[in-house]
Amino acid sequence: MELLLGQVLGFDGDHTAPRIDEGVAIDAGRVKAVGSADRLRRDFPQARVTDHGRALISAGFVDAHVHYAQTAIIASWGKRLIDWLNTYTFPEEMRFADPAYAADVASRYFDLTLANGTTTVCSYATIHPESVDAFFAEAQARGLRAFAGKTCMDRNAPDGLRDTVRSAYDDSKRLLEKWHGGRLGYVITPRFSPTSTPEQLEALGALWREYPDCLMQTHLSEQTDEIAWVKELFPQSRDYLDTYEAQGLLREGAVFGHAIHLTEREKARLAEAGASLVHCPTSNTFIGSGLFDMGLAQTLRVGLATDTGGGSSFSMLRTMAAAYEIGQLRGNPIHPSQLWWLATQGSARALRAEHQIGNIAAGMEADLVVVDLASTPAIEQATRRADDIWQAVFPTIMMGDDRAIRAVYVAGVSSDCRSAA
């Protein structure tokens, strides 16, 4: 058993109910207790004690929408969505037919995410089963809770990067049966409607009905020219969301990335179905997609994500900062408590895993991050002026990076999060 002391951040409900404790006891991969330092020392006298001083101890960050296979092309210049896919994404994803290359990128990707305090990701792989195997094998070796699925595309992609209706179903089912369980979650993954025929979407909807405890992830209404393309490809559909709904891909457990340019019908239907949305702020600005409406979080489960590599950072701190900036542009300055909640419990809720990760409370899995709130001179001088915990945390949200990550615990075990630094 280990007892960690510091400023322990948890939430009793949503972001409006944060709490700060003095310590957290962890045992056998889970949170045993949270409370005052004196009480925990008294209750667990044999525990090994690590005192992190004034550092913030939080649930590890949960990145709810990523493309690990785009690790190498992050921060590539000058393209919008469709050009981005053709110029950077598709050529890079072709390389993941090579199991050795996929394994190398998976290892590098998790080095980078752990160095930034992220303990769970939900990733798209490529069409290659090898890319899924590489991702899950690396996550399993590190003891991580992780979600991913084979990306399915049977049109509007290069030769060598398309599957079929049959192979998408068969490969996804085989991979699901191989990997889904324990700390790993398989996610049924059509890339988006423009790269899947209605027949392929229907087949994946059928697979989801067979395995209803899985998640389904895809993209929705990221850019206006994308929406116009969907309208051309699916003239029979009422809107973009209907291209999924008609094929059985809309219900609880559906996770839609971006969702910037939604119609009123789509908003109402998403809420009625219990679907989740994922806000990807650095990607939405970097690729020029638009400004997400955080007001949707009043009726929908909304998570936060880097969207590596369309997103321009592996850091959830930078992602929180970008979400704040977008909120300002929309006239809605998001409180630091909500930003932190989105990056932890909010994203866990979007992935239907809030009972396991994303918070510090008794019985939760002990995936934790220790954050130095004075990691640079600029942050430290700003923090000295703080009158409360959120004024102390906000400079790290806006200016922090991997230097702020003092320690990471995965299932209660300290991880070498500095291996990529």
Residue-wise pLDDT for 222-234, tens only, equals 999 999 999 999 9
**Which residue would you say has higher pLDDT here, 269 or 82?**
269
What domains lie within the chain, and their CATH numbers? 2-59+358-415 (2.30.40.10), 61-350 (3.20.20.140)
Instruction: Give percent above pLDDT 70 in the chain.
Output: 99
Cα radius of gyration (the chain): 21
Taking the CA atoms of residue 186, residue 421, residue 306 and residue 229 in that order, the dihedral angle to the nearest 10 degrees is -90
Q: How far apart are CA 352 and CA 131, in angstroms?
A: 24
Structure tokens at 386: 């703080």
Are 234 and 193 in contact, with CB atoms under 8 Å apart?
A: yes
Neighbours of 413 (CB within 10 A): 14
Q: Residue 7 in 3-state DSSP?
A: strand
Q: CA-to-CA distance for 100 and 98, rounded, in angstroms?
A: 6
Digit-coded pLDDT (tens) for 63-105: 999 999 999 999 988 778 888 888 999 999 999 999 999 999 9
Mean pLDDT on 295-310: 96
Give the pTM.
Answer: 0.97
CA distances in angstroms from 357 to 115, 144, 280, 290, 348, listed in the order given: 18, 11, 20, 30, 6
pLDDT > 60? residue 219: yes
Residue 300 scores a pLDDT above 90: yes
Over the stretch 99-146, which tens digit does the pLDDT of each residue have? 999 999 999 999 999 999 999 999 999 999 999 999 999 999 999 999
Contact 371, 159 (CB under 8 A): no
Going by the DSSP 8-state scheme, the letter that residue 60 receives in this structure is P
Which two structure tokens, joined as six digits, stand for 33? 């207790």
Q: What is the rounded CA–CA span in Å between residue 168 and residue 268?
A: 30
Cα angle 187, 150, 307; round to 5? 75
Residue 74's pLDDT is what?
A: 95
In degrees to the nearest 10, what's the CA dihedral of 45, 51, 54, 56? -90
pLDDT at 420 over 80: no
Q: Which residues contact 408 (CB under 8 A, 6 or more apart)?
A: 60, 114, 117, 119, 368, 369, 370, 414, 415, 417
First to last CA, the chain: 29
